[in-house]
Amino acid sequence: MITRITKFQLQDAHRSDFSEFMKQFRDELISVDGCQHFDVLQDKTDDLSFQMYMIWDEDEKLEDFRVSDLNKLLTDKIELFSGDNPTSWTVETVFDPEELINQKSLFD
């Protein structure tokens, strides 16, 4: 699985616009082929700092999304709401959760 993390700082004036947009966007993104999970995380100490967390089946599905009109809309809106370019990382799952469940503890 591939995880895409995007971090950005929201401008206070766009707080309600951001919230409304993300409610609509989430439903559309979850329906995209290959998207397994989408979440928006808010920093506990800075309520204007956010991260988007997306999990994709494979690189190709993420790349299809990255060149889509839906991603262009998302990028444009995030830049508008934050006044800056977001920072993004693409990472890969190292440990399979199913394998970890069946693994014997090192402390037994």
Containing structural domain, residue 61 = 2-94
104 inside domain:
no
Query: How confident is the model at residue 75, as a pLDDT?
Result: 92
Burial of 96 (0-12, 13-18, 19+ CB in 10 A): exposed
In total, how many domains does the chain have? Answer: 1
Q: What is the CATH number of the domain that holds 32?
A: 3.30.70.100
Mean pLDDT across the stretch 10-39?
Answer: 93
% the chain with pLDDT above 90 = 74
pTM of the shown model: 0.81
Q: Give every CB contact of residue 21 below 8 A, 6+ residues apart in sequence.
A: 77, 81
